Structure 1
Amino acid sequence: MSQFRETFTKEEKKDPLLDYDDSAFLYFAGSLLLCVLIPWTYCFVSALLFPYNSVAAREFPVKSRSGSVYRYCQCSFDVTRVENAKKRAASWKNRLTVSFVLQLIALIGLWYSFYLLSQQLSGEKEIQAFDPYAILEISMGASDREIKKAYRFMSLKYHPDKNPNDPLAASKFLLISKAYQALTDEVAKMNWEKYGNPDGPGTMKVGIGLPRFLLEEDQHLLILCTFFIFLLFFVPLTFICYYQRQKKYAPTGVQVDTLHFLSYYLTDGTRVKNAPEFVAASAESRELQLRPTDNEEMAVVIREVVEPKKRQFTQPIIVRNYFLILAHMQRLHDKLSPSLQSDLNALLSASLKITQSMIEIAQLREWILTAQSMVEFRRGMVQALDVKSSSLLQIPHFDEELLKHCHKGKNAVRDLTEFISQTPEERKGLSKMNPQQLADVQAFCSHVSDMELSAAICVQDEEEIVEGDVATVTVKLDGEAMGPVHAPFFPDTKFEEWWIFLTDKASGGLIAQARSRSPEKYVEEQLQFQVPTKQGSGKMVLLVTAMCDSYSGIDRTTEVEYKVFGDSEVKRSVYVHPEDEALDSEPTLFQQMLGAYGEEEESEDEDEDQRAAAKKIQQKKLKSMSGDLNGRPSGDNPQGGAMDDEYEDYVPEAEADIPTDDDDEYDG
């Protein structure tokens, strides 16, 4: 290939014909900006015009991931809570955050950059092509004389010998020579007219559009320094900051220090009364800051709070947060100042992950009572219920005074399940409520889950359960797809979760557990365990307990009975499909390969045997024929014997040339 392409693509700033073209970079940068700006602007404008949609999608979704429509509680508190969320989202005071302002500035800057790129693209000329007339500075259709004259003048002007200090002169001289060739040589002229290149068609080149300043020699040092600063400083710094932040947290979102603390202090005897202080002593709680006004504000709270046990920790931040949690569970929110309420909300938000870790630690150590106690404490934090509080306090507008009426007389109830199962006429404690309050109670009762629990045990592909088998208990929860729970004292949106425990009824030991977070109408969980050695008659009873972590008093329990057989009592036959049996008679691939190899060897041996037998037969025929040449056996004549020896080496193909008695060679 000629040097024309290399010469034509050299980057020189002095000649406009050889100048670098920025149009590729402009198109690339504009396309990249549009890919970022269009979806970002759409989301920003949607959040600006419809601010509640983003809040609703996050806090108050309409449907579950499977498409089930959530059923929300229609009591006045929950309706007001949703309306307040709409108002907060629509308020400019809440929307004018630092994030909102930074997004607005970034969008304006990026759209302005796109505008500048568009203006620059509109002024860009077409990519310069090889034009011999423009290079020789003559008009289109010039005569041969004018072409030669222009070539002579331009070549003398840009000859390298006359321009030793001009590095552009050599490339310009070669370009002039190529232009002259394109106008005088027939083949070169035909290639230029057809392909735009005197050398003929060229290959397509694909590259990344880079801006001009990245290719300028004066900027190379600056670009290299910037690259190394980014690679050796910013990237490691970002990774180190991310690692320092993430190493504090476990995969569940709880701080590692909290897990270490809970692993040490959580015991088989831990109950609900111990849990508030454990949450107050967690790393998340200790990160909250004390204020100078806390002593005066907490004095009012401490006088009203009833401690369920003697305190174990004496650090000021732990003591303050401990009393805040007790004030929440005893519903003393009117005693809290706004700053203390803010701290309490932070504790309640962190309590979900902390209590989850407490339940999981108890499950791993097979402390069934501790695990169930932590579930009770978890829903006590959600519904603001103390250790001995009645589950009826979860009903809207209920207080200690109304509980006395519910516990006495006809149709008395003790827990939330009994109250919900009653008709509105049978329910007690509602006589002094106004219509709005009665509607709230009815809405709450309609919203609380009325879950049905069922369980069945089996061993896969077996009819009997034998000791040592891996059995599966299938637990089914049948109810309705519920939206967020009714929790007026909890700051965040909370969905129901069910903790399922499988225990041995006789010993009370924990066998298996599961956590169901699905809000669907129909939930199925499978618990697997190894069947123990049978005892006595082999009849075993399992207890399945489903505990709700959001409402107290709606737990469900059912029993599963099964009989365990010994190994010698049950003879299990392995069922083999007829098609599988037929496969046993088929040779394996290895056998097929050996069989084919054996057949080849056997066929070769048979061919050799057949050839040897044919040769022996032929030799016998030759011997018999040699004995009949003189009318007597070959053994009675020495000549005949000699002839026999001669014919022993006779090949079968010479049979047609055997002489007869009529040949003169053998006369007499």
Structure 2
Amino acid sequence: MVVGAFRSGGFRDSFTKDDAKDDILGYDDTAFYYFVISVLTCVALPWTISVVTSVFKPRQDLEKDFPEKSPEGTKLRYCATAAMAEKVQDVRKAARSFTKRTALSCLIKASVLCLIWAGIFSTGMELSQHKEIKKFDPFDILEVAPTANGPQIKRAYRKLSLVYHPDKNPDDPMAASRFIQITKAYQALTDENSKRNWEKYGNPDGPGTTKVGIGLPRFLLQKEHNFMILTAFFVVLIVMVPMTFICYYQNSKNYAANGVMIETLQFLGYYINEATRAKNGPELLAACAESRCMIARPSDNAHIKQLAGQVVEHKKRVFTLPIVMKNQFLVWAHMQRRHHLMTPELRQDLDELLGHSIKVTQAMIEIACMREWFATAQAMIDYRRCLVQALDVKSSQLLQIPHFKEEHLELCRTAKDPITTLPEFLAMDAPARKALTKLNPEELLDVEAFCSHVGDRVIKAHIEVEDEGEIVVGDVATVTVQMFWKHLQKGEAQGPAHAPYFPEPKFEEWWLFLVEAGSSSSRIVHFERVLDTERMLEEQLRFQVTKAGENKLVLHAMCDSYAGLDQRIELTYTARAEDEVERKMPLFEDDEDLDTCPTLFQQWMGDLQGDESEEEEEEEEGGEEVDSTGEGRTTRRARRKEAEDKECCKSHSSSTSAGEVTSGKSEAGVEEKSNGKDDDSVSGSDDSGSDD
């Protein structure tokens, strides 16, 4: 811990722990106040701006839930039905209104901000009293005027030294430090060398430095505050900081990267199988970890019993945990639109459960896709749109239309041209829809707004192998899917889906599945999740061709927000075997030029060969050069080659030779010495013989 803010250099004897244990000479806490003001300002200023902005503007959650533009910058088109307009209006109203919880939160924030600004103001007032950084001033230390003469300075020194002498203050460590200051001040005013150093360097000990650090204010250095400081540091460093990291780790380790609890992923991975269908969804959602962590009230039992008698369960229950059974009934009641039978508390629980449903159903779909179960993935998407549109697993698609009830469904079924699907109803013109439904004018406006918002989607797909004219086994084929929203204008994007019963805004997501046609297992070849809401978009699905001959694939485009908008496109392609097609790499003019260029190694070897050819040309043109011994270049090169041949022969020979024959010339034999000379001496004699 740094205990000093400013230290006047030169007083090394007074800055040691032995001389002054509890205080330091020249201690100035001005830096502490600057540090406090800087830290508090960095915290208070942006916080104040945020609080003021939140008071005069709607909350940022409004822009997050109902943004005006898409991530690409195009304007989002919202549904103009009365239910959706009221939903957006309620969110805006809630963003501007203050509940008890938000009021308490704002009160706490305002109180803390007031305390912070009060601290900044008081610290500034304290700092304004310090005219400058504290320096060594002997007149101030001796409490005399700058015009004091020698006797006055001497009397002041004697007076103060008697008061602060360590022998008279054995229990006060501050007295020892003060006595040293008084002595140094007296020397600075009476001794010529000390006075000269003080006038030149600012202290009587000569040149020194001023050490600056962020420390504690002076009052915290007093002996009676030591226990408080140690306790505060213990609580902050030993308790608060570790507990913060432990709590964060404990909370984060329970969730996967997609925001779903790891326990939920393990549960779904175990219970989801190839036979799982949409009717299994309510119980799976109610039994996930997010659902089991919800609060169960004692009063919920009576309300759930009343609600259970009004809903129909399409599957026998497996889990009997009370919280699971309660949430399962809530999900079934939502899908069968029994919201009017719920108490406000149960409706809040349902909204919380539906808030978890998007992430949980996303995990369900991904598990089915990873295991290549197309029927299961399709069922989980069906279950998700049942939650979004509040549809039972056996309900008609037409119930997604505003104000439609069973009597309207009967009118559609008994019409001259029966209407049973949502696309058939959307394909009708406005007068025909009016004559068919027999709704009042206000309800008809909502129906037309719904039809205009859902609109018409054109999806096209084709298969190819990039940069190839034929498809061959082993190629990576690409299925390019083009999606076009005909009801959107240029510069518009699709806004949130019409989902008045869902508590959160739900943007459309499209799932693209490539499935083998005619396969009993409906194996998924490839899948993609499309989150883009623009007017035109393109997606590519890639897979490897494994079978020669005619192949058929089916592209399924499924919407997770509306039932009945799915599209199915059949793709047929013929793949040829690898030995049937001979592919040649395309040659370009630039590549042909590169073939004629030498490589870096060839260029390097060419430079070496060029040096040797230059030497030979010089020999041919200028004749042999003769050195000082009278030998020509050719003779020297022959001698070098001759020596290399000798060394090669010696490395392969098992015994030492007495003599050698070189270049067709007979050389005198050299008798082997028995005095221990090595082969090098023999070679040397051979060389001398050849020179002769």
Q: Give your verdict on TM over 0.5.
A: yes
Cα separation, partners in 2 of 1:335 and 1:154, compared to 1, 3 Å: closer
Cα separation, partners in 2 of 1:598 and 1:172, compared to 1, 3 Å: farther
Shift of residue 302, structure 1, vs aligned partner: 2.9
Cα separation, partners in 2 of 1:83 and 1:525, compared to 1, 3 Å: same
Shift of residue 326, structure 1, vs aligned partner: 1.7
User: Which residue, out of 475, 486, 502, partners 2:481?
Assistant: 475
User: Which residue, out of 373, 376, 389, partners 2:379?
Assistant: 373
**1:119-175, CA deviations, whole angstroms, 9 ceiling, x for partnerless residues?**
2122223212344665676666x6xxx766667667777889x95645333454334
Q: Output the CA distance in 2 between the equivalents of 1:14 and 1:255.
A: 55
User: Which residue, out of 22, 28, 37, partners 1:21?
Assistant: 28
Letter of the aligned partner of 2:627 in structure 1? A
User: Which residue, out of 503, 506, 527, partners 1:494?
Assistant: 506
Moved more, 126-135 or 357-366: 126-135
Match of 1:614 in 2: 627
**1:216-239, CA deviations, whole angstroms, 9 ceiling, x for partnerless residues?**
566556545543444443333333
Cα separation, partners in 2 of 1:379 and 1:618, compared to 1, 3 Å: closer
User: Which residue, out of 491, 495, 503, partners 2:515?
Assistant: 503
Given that residues 402 and 429 in structure 1 are in contact (C-alpha distance below 8 angstroms), is that contact kept between their aligned partners in structure 2?
A: no
Match of 1:309 in 2: 315
Shift of residue 593, structure 1, vs aligned partner: 7.4
Q: Output the CA distance in 1 between the equivalents of 2:86 and 2:455.
A: 22
**1:584-637, CA deviations, whole angstroms, 9 ceiling, x for partnerless residues?**
666766777788899999999999999983335489xxxxxxxxxxxxxxxxxx
Q: How does 1:574-593 map to 2 (within 5 A)?
A: 574-575=585-586, 579=590
Shift of residue 321, structure 1, vs aligned partner: 2.5
User: Which residue, out of 176, 183, 189, partners 1:167?
Assistant: 176
Given that residues 330 and 386 in structure 1 are in contact (C-alpha distance below 8 angstroms), is that contact kept between their aligned partners in structure 2?
A: yes
Shift of residue 366, structure 1, vs aligned partner: 0.5
Cα separation, partners in 2 of 1:584 and 1:98, compared to 1, 3 Å: farther
Match of 2:538 in 1: 524
Match of 1:90 in 2: 96
Give 3-state SS (helix, strand or coil) of 2:43's partner.
helix
Q: Output the CA distance in 1 between the equivalents of 2:253 and 2:38.
A: 39
Match of 2:567 in 1: 556
Match of 1:114 in 2: 120
Shift of residue 401, structure 1, vs aligned partner: 0.8
Letter of the aligned partner of 2:312 in structure 1? V
Q: Does 1:512 align with 2:526?
A: yes
**Number of corresponding residues:** 605
Give 3-state SS (helix, strand or coil) of 2:557's partner.
strand
Given that residues 182 and 188 in structure 1 are in contact (C-alpha distance below 8 angstroms), is that contact kept between their aligned partners in structure 2?
A: no
Given that residues 28 and 209 in structure 1 are in contact (C-alpha distance below 8 angstroms), is that contact kept between their aligned partners in structure 2?
A: no
TM-score if structure 1 supplies the norm length? 0.79
Give 3-state SS (helix, strand or coil) of 1:4's partner.
coil
Given that residues 406 and 428 in structure 1 are in contact (C-alpha distance below 8 angstroms), is that contact kept between their aligned partners in structure 2?
A: no
Give 3-state SS (helix, strand or coil) of 2:627's partner.
helix
**1:485-543, CA deviations, whole angstroms, 9 ceiling, x for partnerless residues?**
21111122222111111112232321111112223333333322221121xxx232322
Shift of residue 188, structure 1, vs aligned partner: 7.3
Match of 2:557 in 1: 546
Match of 2:54 in 1: 47
Q: Which 5+ residue runs of structure 2 have no aligned equivalent?
A: 1-7, 168-174, 633-692
Given that residues 88 and 94 in structure 1 are in contact (C-alpha distance below 8 angstroms), is that contact kept between their aligned partners in structure 2?
A: no
Q: How does 1:429-508 map to 2 (within 5 A)?
A: 432-479=438-485, 480=488, 481-507=493-519, 508=522
Letter of the aligned partner of 1:541 in structure 2? K
Q: Which 5+ residue runs of structure 1 have no aligned equivalent?
A: 620-668
Letter of the aligned partner of 1:277 in structure 2? E
Moved more, 105-114 or 167-176: 167-176
Given that residues 280 and 319 in structure 1 are in contact (C-alpha distance below 8 angstroms), is that contact kept between their aligned partners in structure 2?
A: yes
Cα separation, partners in 2 of 1:210 and 1:65, compared to 1, 3 Å: farther
Q: Output the CA distance in 2 between the equivalents of 1:595 and 1:176.
A: 89
Letter of the aligned partner of 2:41 in structure 1? L
**1:618-657, CA deviations, whole angstroms, 9 ceiling, x for partnerless residues?**
89xxxxxxxxxxxxxxxxxxxxxxxxxxxxxxxxxxxxxx
**1:449-507, CA deviations, whole angstroms, 9 ceiling, x for partnerless residues?**
53332233343444433212223323233335222221111122222111111112232
Shift of residue 342, structure 1, vs aligned partner: 2.6
User: Which residue, out of 13, 26, 41, partners 1:34?
Assistant: 41
Shift of residue 278, structure 1, vs aligned partner: 1.7
Higher relative contact order (CA 8 A, sep 6+): 2
Cα separation, partners in 2 of 1:383 and 1:184, compared to 1, 3 Å: closer
Match of 2:654 in 1: none
| Alignment root-mean-square deviation, CA | 4.0
Match of 2:257 in 1: 251
Q: How does 1:568-647 map to 2 (within 5 A)?
A: 568-575=579-586, 579=590, 613-617=626-630
Letter of the aligned partner of 1:482 in structure 2? Q
Cα separation, partners in 2 of 1:129 and 1:555, compared to 1, 3 Å: same
**1:236-270, CA deviations, whole angstroms, 9 ceiling, x for partnerless residues?**
33333333333333322223332222222211111
Give 3-state SS (helix, strand or coil) of 1:92's partner.
coil
Letter of the aligned partner of 1:372 in structure 2? Q
Moved more, 252-261 or 216-225: 216-225
Letter of the aligned partner of 1:485 in structure 2? A
Q: Output the CA distance in 1 between the equivalents of 2:593 and 2:183.
A: 86
Letter of the aligned partner of 2:176 in structure 1? P
